């Protein structure tokens, strides 16, 4: 824990064989890329406030921090990439757990695809002001405020076949955001949606700009 925290001039770290990075290990450094081919686990705050970080390339990572349902949010398992305000590229093809506040306030991030993610923690993507497109083909469990304050979000793909569990605040307050979002669901969710005669499309208690379906 904290091994390089506050090394304020550190820009590169070559770690080809490291499999786990513990809490706050690189927080408040000037790392520009996180490209570790053997890494599988990242603990909370590992890259928190890395303001120069632009690229995350972690092909083997399976867990980013700690997921909670919001009833007792972890104080040490969140904020892995939080406040990385220059981050634009994220590659996490095997990550099944995206922990609490994992990417919140990554203001330069415009799109993210997490193909293996199942659990999405509290405020995991909240405050990502430039985020327009999110693709989560296997996610089935969403905690509180996952997308709160994502004002630019316009396309959300949640195409898992299994039942999808969300919190009342997952998509932000009321319909203020969802009314501007084109939602894509698996075809087996069609019975969970309904369309009122004035073309108001609803799912999970929210109204959406549009709802479409894929096989």
33-89 pLDDT tens trace: 999 999 999 999 999 999 999 999 999 999 999 999 887 655 678 999 999 999 999
Report yes or no: 180 and 171 within 8 Å, Cβ to Cβ: no
What are the tens digits of pLDDT across the range 166-199?
999 999 988 999 999 999 999 999 999 987 655 6
How many C-alpha atoms does 98 have within 13 Å on its Cβ side? Answer: 34
What are the tens digits of pLDDT across the range 196-211?
655 678 999 999 999 9
- Could you tell me whether strands 210-214 and 182-186 are parallel, antiparallel, or unpaired per DSSP bridges? parallel
Paired with 90 in beta bridges are 56
pTM of the model: 0.93
Residue 215 has pLDDT above 80, yes or no: yes
Angle, vertex CA 111, rays to CA 108 and CA 113, nearest 5: 135
Report yes or no: 127 and 107 within 8 Å, Cβ to Cβ: yes
Q: In 39-52, which positions are buried (b, 16+ CB within 10 angstroms) versus exposed (e)?
A: bbbbbbbbbbbbee
pLDDT at 71: 74
């Amino acid at each position: 824990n904290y091994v390089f925290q506050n090394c304020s001039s550190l820009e590169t770290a070559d770690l080809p064989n490291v499999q786990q990075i513990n809490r706050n290990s690189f927080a408040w450094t000037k790392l520009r890329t996180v490209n570790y081919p053997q890494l599988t686990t990242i603990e909370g705050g590992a890259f928190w406030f890395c303001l120069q970080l632009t690229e995350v390339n972690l092909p083997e990572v399976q867990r980013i921090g700690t997921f909670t349902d919001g009833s007792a949010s972890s104080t040490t398992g969140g904020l892995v990439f939080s406040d990385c305000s220059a981050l634009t590229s994220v590659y996490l093809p095997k990550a099944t757990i995206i922990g609490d506040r994992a990417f919140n306030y990554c203001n330069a991030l415009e799109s993210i695809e997490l193909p293996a993610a199942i659990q999405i923690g509290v405020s995991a993507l909240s405050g990502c002001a430039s985020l327009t497109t999110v693709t989560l083909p296997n996610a089935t469990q969403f905690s509180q405020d996952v997308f709160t304050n994502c004002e630019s979000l316009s396309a959300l793909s949640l195409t898992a076949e299994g039942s999808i569990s969300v919190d009342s605040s997952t998509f932000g307050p009321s319909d203020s955001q969802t009314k501007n979002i084109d939602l894509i669901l698996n075809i087996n969710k069609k019975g969970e949606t309904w369309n009122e005669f004035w073309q108001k499309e609803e799912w999970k208690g929210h109204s959406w700009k549009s709802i479409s379906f894929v096989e």
